[in-house]
Amino acid sequence: MLHRDIKGSSLLINKNGILNIADFRLLNYCSPKQKQPLTSRVVILWYEAPQLLLGASFYITGIDLWSAGCLLAEIFAGKPFMLGKDYWKKLKLSTFQPPQTYKPGPFEAFRTFPEIALGLLTTTFLALDPISRGYASSALQNEGRT
């Protein structure tokens, strides 16, 4: 299943630290063999995976893992990982050129994160290749490793 709208307000954590996911308005069945295209306009821009920004209409659960990675980075950094339209406009995605002013990449900016969080971000959640993001189960299997 694809949630397609993972954001901070969709995550509910109780006083015991138990996470519940809410807001299933954009939930959709996911199959690697799907023939029906899906919309690329699903998530708040801050948490939107690169392939959605580029207009992909066939995608798998990696889009939710990207969103989860952005939220994880936001939790540890105390601020959003990518600031919506301002961030993406600076990237000039249509020409794939870096922003004019250099800002540290995520792995430089977040080098103070706990090792396990940085490992998950770099190897699973924020992998640019959607297939490399795998599934939530791959993130759980990565627990304790970098």
**What pLDDT digit, counting tens, does each position of 26-47 carry?**
878 777 676 778 877 777 778 8
Q: Tokens 């971000």 correspond to what residue?
A: 121
3-state secondary structure of 3: coil
Which helix or strand (DSSP H or E) is residue 19 part of? Answer: strand 19-21
State the catalytic residues. 5
Answer yes or no: pTM beyond 0.85: no
- Domains for the chain: give ranges and CATH numbers: 8-139 (1.10.510.10)
The string of DSSP codes covering 67-135 is: HHHHHHHHHHHTS-SS-HHHHHHHHTTTTT---SS----HHHHTTTS-HHHHHHIIIIIT-SSHHHH--
Residues 130/145, Cβ–Cβ less than 8 Å: no
**What pLDDT digit, counting tens, does each position of 55-89 carry?**
888 877 788 888 888 888 888 888 887 765 565 55
